[in-house]
Amino acid sequence: MKRRLTVAQALVAFLRNQYSIRDSKEHRLIEGCFGIFGHGNVAGIGQALEQDPQLHYYLCRNEQAMVHTAAAFARASFRKRTLACTTSIGPGATNMVTGAAAATINRLPVLLLPGDIFARRNVAPVLQQLESPATQDVSVNDCFKPVSRYWDRIERAEQLLTSLPEAMRVLTSPADTGAVTLSLPQDVQAEVFDFPEEFFRKRDWVIPRVRCDESQLKKAVSWIHQAKKPLLIAGGGVLYSEATEALSKLAHATGIPVAETQAGKGALAFDHPQEVGALGVTGTPGANILAREADLVVGIGTRYSDFTSASKTAFQNPAVRFISINVAEFDAYKHAALPLIGDARVTLEELHIALAGFCVEEGYRSKIARFRAEWEKEVDRIYGLRKDPPITQGAVIGVVNNFSEASDVVVCAAGSLPGDLHKLWRTRRPGGYHLEYGYSCMGYEIAGGLGAKLAQPGREVYVLVGDGSYLMMAQEIVTSIQEGVKLNIVLLDNHGFSSIGGLSRSCGNEGMGTNYRYRRGDKYDGDVLPVDFAANAASLGAWTVCARTAEELQSALASTRKQPRTSVIVVETSYDDRVPGYESWWDVPVAEVSEREAVQAARRRYEEERKKERYFF
């Protein structure tokens, strides 16, 4: 049997019949398609989506934003579901490149379907075509290649028959997932072909729980028994494999402390006895001291970014060894680790059985308990800061955290907020902490909040966003209003790029280009720009309110909880009052020569700190 369809119609018919399965539970893999139509996709994919509404279509306002929304949806679904995104060829397509990079870096599945130039070439150069004097086989979509885990250009209808299954394989691969890009020439989209009927049958893609090598597991158990100061590091893989319960049981039974990366935060509830908080550059003092002294580090689903490893200065014990539990071989071998290449949940369960009777020494347990108690006092102190307006960012986080419920989700991405949230946010349930920090992409916040809410509509979503990120991509408020998807947005107005301003000054500079002020001569040091964020948000359809004090913020949060549509609370915060760093360092090179004494002093400090950076063999 054959079905006579256009390439675009066949694509849509195929996508709506793909399912993922994990632990015998079935999920529709592609839950819908975001898109903005232009000449390169309106008559192809646009026609197909209109003709076949079973693949739900969503209209967004910005192409980059819709990829962020798809990635956030995938993350909130623990990588079992995702969304497709379609654009025209040209700026619509290249606007998605940043979103593709963020998805791939964060190991999140998204399907990108940009239009492309004519495959038959005779009308070239078409509108928005990039010409090359060296080849006719190139378009702007080639720039997706380095930021995609799978890339293809469909120049003949029958290529769908082999390309689409490969795309689904990558989207459902725990180790290889990321952005998948299928470039679709606009003429090919509209071409007809007799596709085999069986191509459109319902298909299940099993997300496997791979077991690690038995001999390596035995060796890991031996290393743990020998360790006096072991430390577990929970990365994003703990959440994606839904291994939080297995981690909790292992930590409770063995007494081994658990520190969390940005992606792994929430792997344990903040009040779990073995949870010692954030690790690395944005970490807590206890977690960073334990990392510095650890003789064995067991990383679970982490890629050891420089923020986690504190630019390779976090682990200072000369005898430290590493065990790495990871589905990706590439990540499992980092830091010369003993690789346990397998699913996090299965591997943790097997370790739990194999380590029966093992427990860390009482002195180590007491140290963990002391670090935990000291840190909770510090969080309470920062939460309790109640200065005259403008209030501190830490106080804002405290008010929102204390007001929110255990099932609620906080979303953030860039600026100084992620570091403060990593340290301060008390996460109570898996998935309650949603930070895009692999790419730390400004503008992700509201689009990401939309994706998180679409994936889990029963949970309240709180988007914390700085004024810099808000001004880069606020327009998805309109999408949330159109779709009836409620977000609670807390916009922190500190009149500039506070995070980079602070970093600039720590390097001996003066925060150049980081203040939202009028130009005065050669500098931006005039009056603060009068940006009316509340009026802006209201013009996009949001319910808005301003809050100056912690008490006003709490009252505003209570009001937004009752609102049926997206709300924006604007809070002016202090530019200079910061949550400190604790027992850690980040490698940001300082100018080796300068006439400024402040830069010279910063360089001396930098050279001293760099001496702690290590190679692991």
Total domains, the chain: 4
Rounded CA-CA distance 165/462 in Å is 37
User: What's the rounded mean pLDDT across residues 356-363?
Assistant: 97
Report yes or no on 37 lying in a domain: yes
Q: Are residues 546 and 604 in the same domain?
A: no
What φ, ψ does residue 30 adopt, rounded to 5°?
-105, 100
Write down the pTM of the prediction. 0.97
Q: Are residues 146 and 123 in the same domain?
A: yes
H or E segment and range at residue 143: none
Of 320, 355, 374, the domain-final residue: 374
Q: Are residues 398 and 348 in the same domain?
A: no
Rounded CA-CA distance 12/10 in Å is 6
Rounded CA-CA distance 116/88 in Å is 7
Report yes or no on 364 lying in a domain: yes
User: What's the rounded mean pLDDT across residues 518-533?
Assistant: 91
- The structure tokens listed for 92 are 């619509």
Amino acid 161 reads L
pLDDT band for position 590 (cuts 50, 70, 90): very high
Of 333, 348, 374, the domain-final residue: 374
Q: Are residues 8 and 131 in the same domain?
A: yes
Q: Are residues 281 and 409 in the same domain?
A: no
Quick check: 434 pLDDT over 90? yes
Structural domain containing residue 15: 2-206
59-70 tens-digit pLDDT: 999 999 999 999
Report yes or no on 581 lying in a domain: no
Q: Which DSSP category does 147 fall into?
A: G
Q: Are residues 481 and 354 in the same domain?
A: no
Report yes or no on 578 lying in a domain: no
Domain containing 287 — which CATH number?
3.40.50.1220
Q: Are residues 446 and 513 in the same domain?
A: yes
Rounded CA-CA distance 324/304 in Å is 10
Coil/strand/helix, residue 121: coil
Report yes or no on 577 lying in a domain: no
More confident residue, 111 or 498: 111
- The structure tokens listed for 157 are 């209808």
Angle 427-433-437 (CA atoms, 0-180°, nearest 5)?
Answer: 135
Domain containing 95 — which CATH number?
3.40.50.970
Q: Are residues 353 and 446 in the same domain?
A: no
Quick check: 387 pLDDT over 80? no
pLDDT band for position 512 (cuts 50, 70, 90): confident
- The structure tokens listed for 146 are 């380095």
467-487 tens-digit pLDDT: 999 999 999 999 999 999 999
Q: Are residues 229 and 167 in the same domain?
A: no
232-258 tens-digit pLDDT: 999 999 999 999 999 999 999 999 999
User: What's the rounded mean pLDDT across residues 260-283?
Assistant: 98
Predicted pLDDT of residue 156 = 97
pLDDT band for position 602 (cuts 50, 70, 90): very high
Q: Are residues 424 and 328 in the same domain?
A: no
556-586 tens-digit pLDDT: 999 999 999 999 999 999 877 889 999 999 9
Q: Are residues 166 and 290 in the same domain?
A: no
Quick check: 466 pLDDT over 80? yes
Report yes or no on 580 lying in a domain: no
Predicted pLDDT of residue 504 = 84
Quick check: 542 pLDDT over 80? yes
Rounded CA-CA distance 511/507 in Å is 9
Lowest-confidence region among 311-315, 342-346, 523-527 = 523-527
Of 206, 228, 248, the domain-final residue: 206
Q: Are residues 614 and 478 in the same domain?
A: no
Report yes or no on 163 lying in a domain: yes
pLDDT band for position 201 (cuts 50, 70, 90): very high
Quick check: 142 pLDDT over 90? yes
320-336 tens-digit pLDDT: 999 999 999 999 999 99
pLDDT band for position 98 (cuts 50, 70, 90): very high
Predicted pLDDT of residue 516 = 87
Predicted pLDDT of residue 217 = 98
Report yes or no on 24 lying in a domain: yes
